Amino acid sequence: MKASSTGTSRMLIFGAAAVFLVASSILYSFAAGDGGTPVTPNNFYGTLTINGNPAGIGTRMKGMVGGEDKTTPSPYTTQSSGQYGCLVGLDCKFGVNCTQGEDITFLIEKSPSSGNFFDTGTIISCNPGADTNMNIAIAFNETCTNGQTRACPLQQGVCTGSYETCTDSQWPGCTAQNYGQFYEAQEASCDNKDNDCDGVVDGMSQNCGSGQCAGTQTCSAGQWGDCSTSGNDCGVCAACDAIGGCAYDESQDSDCDSNDIPGIAICTNDPDANPFTWDSRAAFDSQCSGMNVCSQGSGTITHACSKASCLAPCETDADCNDLDPNTIDMCLADCTCQNIYLPSCGNGQIDQGETCEYPSTSNNEYCPQAQTQCQGTKLGTRDAFGYCNILCGCTQDSFTYSCVAGECGAECSYDSDCDDLDPNTVDTCLNDCMCQYTEQTEYCLLITDMRVLNSVQDEDYTIPAGTMYYIEMSTYNSCDWDVQSMQIVQVLKGAMPVNLGSLTSTIHSAESSVMTVGFIMPNGTPQGTQFTANGFNWNHWIDQSPGTFEILSAISQVSFQSE
């Protein structure tokens, strides 16, 4: 019977054997010698199963043409469990020398090294130069005694010592169950075991990594080795690591060479183009500081006048001293000297470099200045002219600030400006130039003024960070009796309490009490941060028991900010 090469399956019973074939061919070009004699054999490959088990390594086969062994080499010996032939490699190919159309039959040795080759009765037409895929499954109809055992075909690796047991007078064939829990038809586990029983421990490969670092790694002694791309360059200051990832590599400083900065030490370097300056810059060797990151240096060139190196006329003003007390001696930026004649301050003339002249030092006509300026709701005033200082330069006067009704948003100048014609209220012009109306029937302690003082206790509403400042609160006792009061000032930043200060005193009837409490503007306070100080009076008893305090005055406020 002939087996076609179109991929169909056939079962053949011949003598005491059943043979299963699946065949397909891949045709390659071949050359012929004189007389049409083929020089390229028909190669065969596929799976080989005996009695339901993969044929063991070392199973021998022959390819017969016209009753003559045409196997090359003969006999062919399998090199892999359950496989014969191959597509690549000369050592593993199962070739049959034949001419186009000749019938080929196949013999398989029944038991290892027995020399007893079984004729399968399979016939296939020769196709020289082709690689033909043909799967062969052979069943030898052997009988046995129940309970009898024999070794399984695979006896290497985890299959060592495996056997099958005769059942119903038939050998059932060895399966994965016979070979044990570690058996794998195709090696897949990296566990330092020969799982597919082919005599090779591990040795399989798998893909690893990604992108530029994609490669393969091989299992050996139960461990996956480094990815084949380990150490390959994958970017600036980056190399492939052992698992195929792109990682920082500090040894690749050469990747940063383009960021190197050459050193400079010369008198005539651009861009200043001044031969009198020593132009210098330290060399910078850029190095890896992170993955895809190189350290950066400064390209700044310093230019300094140098008498020793560049023959500069001067380095400092002292080098330009002309011994004339009426001149200003200067070493200019171009390293040359300039001696400027001093103007005569007090000669009645405005010389070069002067803005005013004596003798009128105050309210000097040459020193005009703005006369008003707002600071919050207070108006600052000064006269029309500043004063002429000893260098014949103008200096402006300081402003004097006060409440002026209608100016800078102020409501009042004096308490009288706040008269609401209500005899039952105390009308007060507060320090922020705004009116406060206090019901006399409610409180007879009146806060008449609150001010913010700077570190030298001058009135100031802009306090530098890190400096001392004070809150001054004035309380008038309009009661008909003396009052013992706890006078309290609480400083808030926004709505949040910051500091609290207090003073206990007895305020006599028809008298005032002035309390000054010191605080510190915290270091690091941003410029322009707004603060509010609340001032009020509580009663005070010695026991200070909870619930025994009572507010005795309206709350007064003053605002200020950090500088």
Domain range summary for the chain, segments of one domain joined by +: 2-140, 205-249, 255-310, 423-562
- Domain formed by 423-562, architecture: Distorted Sandwich (2.70)
User: Does the pLDDT at position 382 exceed 90?
Assistant: yes
Q: Look at residue 38 in the predicted model and tell me its pLDDT.
A: 46
Instruction: Categorize the per-residue pLDDT at 27 as very low, low, confident or very high, splitting at 50, 70 and 90.
Output: very low
* CB contact at 8 A, 74 and 88: no
Instruction: Categorize the per-residue pLDDT at 317 as very low, low, confident or very high, splitting at 50, 70 and 90.
Output: very high
Average pLDDT over residues 215-232: 93
Residue 378 CB partners (closer than 8 Å, separation 6+): 401, 402, 403, 404, 408, 410, 433
* CB contact at 8 A, 181 and 171: no
Q: Look at residue 51 in the predicted model and tell me its pLDDT.
A: 76
User: Does the pLDDT at position 428 exceed 90?
Assistant: no
Whole-number Å distance between alpha carbons of 96 and 76: 10
Give the angle subtended at the CA of 182 by the CAs of 180 and 184, to the nearest 5°: 100
Whole-number Å distance between alpha carbons of 269 and 539: 80
Q: Look at residue 342 in the predicted model and tell me its pLDDT.
A: 67
User: Is this model's pTM higher than 0.85 or not?
Assistant: no
Q: Look at residue 440 in the predicted model and tell me its pLDDT.
A: 58
